[in-house]
Each structure stands twice: as C-alpha cells, then as structure tokens.
Amino acid sequence: MNNKVLIIEDEKKIARFLELELAHEGYDVDIAYEGRDGLIKFEQNEYDLILLDILLPGLNGLEICRRIRKEASIPIIIVSAKDETTDKVCGLDIGADDYLTKPFAIEELLARMRVHLRKLQKSNPGDNKLKIADLMMNLDTHEVFRGDQKVFLTNQEYELLKYLLENKKIVLTRDQIGSKVWGYDFEDNTNVVDVYISYLRRKVDQSGKVKLIHTIRGSDNFEGIDILRQMYLPVLEQSFTPPPELPRPRGFKPPVLVETSLTSAEMIKYASNVFLALKISYINEIGGLCEKTGADIKEVAYGMGLDPRIGSRFLNAGIGWGGSCFPKDTLALMALGAAYDYSMPIIDAACAVNKRQRQVVIKKLESQLGDLSGRTVGILGLAFKPGTDDLRDSPAQDIIKLLVERGVRVKAHDPVAVPSARKLLAEYQVEYGVNPYQTACGCDALVLITEWEEYLKLDFLKLRSVMNTPILIDGRNFLNPAELNAVGFLYEGVGIGDACLGNGRGGVYRESPSGQAS
C-alpha cells in the first residue's frame, strides 16, 4: 500500500507541484488549501505524513500542528517561507518533526520524507494494528495503548473496542453492537451495551485526552420522537411562565417540531447554514458589480429585502463570513458530497467568493496608498462577530496575514478579543492598543472589521487628528459615511460605486504637494 500524504498549502501552484512530484514517487496525496479544511481532512482520513504551511487562511498552521499533535504522532514537516531561527524553533517546539524553508529543492524534501517514514515503519513493524488519533490496538499481542500509556481491558471490552475501531467514524446502533460483539440481539430494555461503553470510556477517554468515544442521542423510532415531543411540549405550546425580566415577545410565533430521520435532521442543519453562507456570498458578488457600475449595495440590498421571497436578513455586503458554523458546515457538506462522488460547485464558488472578499480590503488600501510596504494600518475589531472573543475563521486573521506579507506594520484593537489574538496571531507581531485612539495613532489607514457598537460612538475628529492620513475602509458598511466625511475622513465601504461618492458615501484620498488631503 502506498504511503498517504496530506498537503496543507494555500498556494495552489506549490500544492499542485508537490502533488505531481509526490504522485510520481508513488505517494497517495490529498490537498487542503485552507487550514480548517486540512484539519477536517486529517480527522476524517488516515495519513502517514503531513506537509504543512504556516501562513494559511482560516486556521494558522502552527495551531493545526498543535491540535494534530494532541491527537496523533504522525510525522509533520512544516514547509514555510518563514525562515527566521525563531520561526523554526517555534514550529519544532509546537510539535513539528521537521522544518523546511521555501524555496526548497524537491529532492531534499523527498529525502526528508523518506527519513520520517522509515522512522514510522520502525516504530510500527508489521503494522497489524488498528489506530485512531493516539489510540492504538495491536491485533497480534492484544495490547492497547493511549499514547505511551497501556490500557488494560477485559476480553469483552477488547472486542467492543476492536469493533468500534474497525468502524471508526461510523455511527453504530446498540443492535449492531450487540449482534456483532455479543452474538445475539438484546431486549429493548437492556442497558448492557451502555454499561460496557461506559466502562470503555473510563479507560480510553482519559483525563486531559481528546475524547474518542462519542454517544449520539437520537432515534428513528416513534418512542424516541414521542419522548422528545413531551420534553419540548412547554416550549412548543408556550405554556411555561416566562421570568419577569424576560417577558414573552409580542407576535412571537411558537417553534415547530419537525419529525424527520436522523439523516434528514443532520442535512437540515448543514443545508440551512450553508444557504445563509451562499446568501452572503451572493450579495458580496452583487456588491462587487455595484462598485463597477456605480450602484450602492445598501440601496440594492434594501430593495431586494422588501421581496418576501428573499427577505432582508443576511444581505449585508462586506468582507465575508467567518466563525465556527458557516466555514465548518460548508466544508462538511462538500466533504459529504465528495464521499458520495457528488460535486457541489455552487458551495465551492461561495467559499471562493468569501475568500476573495478578504482581498477587497487590500485592494482598497492599495488604491488609496499605493505600495503598502512600510505603511502602518490599524485594525478595528478582531473577532468574527461582535459580542464574542472568538477568532475562528475571522476575516481579521486573513487580512492581517495579507498585510504583513506586504510589509505593513499592523496595529489592532478589539474590546474583548485581544487576549485570544495575542496567542493566535503571535507570529505576526501585531501591536495592540488599549483603545481605538491608541491604535489609530500614526496610522496611514484604518480598517473596520468587526461591527462593535462602541465604534459608532467614537470621537471621529479626535481619531482623525492622531492619524498620518485620514483613510478609513469600512469592511462592514457599518459607520455613517457622511459623519466621517464631515470631519475630514476619506471613507470607503464595500459595494459602493463611484457614482455614489458625491453623496457623502465615500471618497478617494489624494495628497496634495502641501500634504493636505484633497
């Protein structure tokens, strides 16, 4: 069997080159162009070696390495343009087995891969084993290890774990487990399977380790559905008494209980979130066309939203969606399609549009300032949405990476997400301000990424006074352009064409010989 390699690399030319070279050498290759997609592929497949870039969209390569190392001892070779000694030390300390800087000779990479695969073969002679993450079952010796620690199991526990490992990532019913492991069907009211799963979980899912055994609650039978219906009855009928501080909203429509199979319920969840992601990417596509034609995307979206078939929600043009739900569910739905050899180009296109929206900010900055090298840019908002410190797939991550790659000094502010950002964005050497004014001081431009309410209440005259050049790119169309223009800002939103600029909706910065904005 050929060794299987996962390449996590956002530069498509490099990824394709590596794929061709490795395939020529007899390797089976998978490619992920985004960090989170790479992590999902790792979790859903078995690989012998990973080639990992550091500067990745969605999820940083160092964070991917850290998460993989928590679960498995698979060889990881970092292949990155970051060539400082501190970069190499950081990568190796976080869990990588090797570090190769770009540009590199393919012969050297292949040699390093052979070294690590030889080490892997020596540590796995015969390879008559079942594995997932850092859990390993030796079918010859009947030994089970979680990492370096041996797990002692009874014969029945061993057979149960063996069946689970043989069907990893597959949901098994009690009937299937009982029939295969015990050899007969249990009565409906027995809890033998539950008891042994509990025994196994105590021994395998040790404290501090990633949980490997998961129980999925649900049912395709009428009894299970009836239990759920009874449990949610007070909510469905709105028969409960709301607390005094949270009165029941007027005109509130009670929720509906929809009875489906488990498969349909899962599909409803994925399809709903992905549809909203498609809607956002679509309005961003229209926003790009508005900029070309001179239309105003806010007016266009308002008009579209009046149509009850469309609705006004999720029609806000900007720098795209992020967070945990939309990116995860779009990738999950595409992976599900791929598992059934069913392509979903419309979802692929929506993801491509979302990734492109990050570039919109860079292009706007370049159109205002020209070459960005040596410039200072301030970022207002780091979290993927207001009200959280969550930076998962935040547009801020990609935009900061793109700015740093262009030689920009990056400053940033966020009301709550700075502690998280210090850990996640450590390699970019971002300077964090205690308030927006400190962040704006000395900046050639500001970029608003997260629509925190407090940014609406800023003293924009004071903000302008501390900047080198009063340029503000509003990545969410959140601020009032007329208010900003009135105090001397050159404001630019997303999806607002040149024909709208004379209406107080934006402007282009030009510097006169005297150094004054014109």
Output the known binding site for substrate: 269, 314-318, 322, 385
Q: Do residues 329 and 273 make contact, with C-beta atoms less than 8 angstroms apart?
A: yes
Annotated binding residues, written as ranges, equal 269, 314-318, 322, 328, 385, 392
DSSP 8-state code for residue 255: P
DSSP 8-state code for residue 225: H
Tokens of 395: 């547009």
- What is the enclosing helix (H) or strand (E) of 410? strand 409-413
- Would you tell me how many other CB atoms lie within 10 Å of the CB of residue 13? 8
Determine whether 146 is exposed, middle or buried from the number of CB atoms within 10 Å of its CB (0-12, 13-18, 19+). Answer: middle
Q: Do residues 210 and 70 make contact, with C-beta atoms less than 8 angstroms apart?
A: yes
In this structure, the strands spanning 431-432 and 445-448 are: unpaired
Report how far apart the first and last C-alpha atoms of the chain are (Å, whole number).
Answer: 67
Q: Which among 90, 290, 325, 351 is annotated as catalytic?
A: 325
Find residue 496's DSSP bridge partners: 296
Question: What sign for the dihedral angle of Cα 74, 44, 62, 334?
Answer: positive
CA-based nearest residue to 72, from 88, 104, 87, 50: 50
Main-chain phi, psi angles of 491, to 5 degrees: -100, 140
In this structure, the strands spanning 143-146 and 149-151 are: antiparallel
Q: Do residues 466 and 488 make contact, with C-beta atoms less than 8 angstroms apart?
A: no
Q: How far is CA 516 from the centre of its chain?
A: 42
Question: What sign for the dihedral angle of Cα 183, 184, 188, 191?
Answer: negative
Annotation says 325 is catalytic: yes
The number of C-alpha atoms within 13 Å of 72 and in the hemisphere containing its C-beta is: 20
Helix, strand, or coil here: 379? strand
What is the set of active-site residues? 325
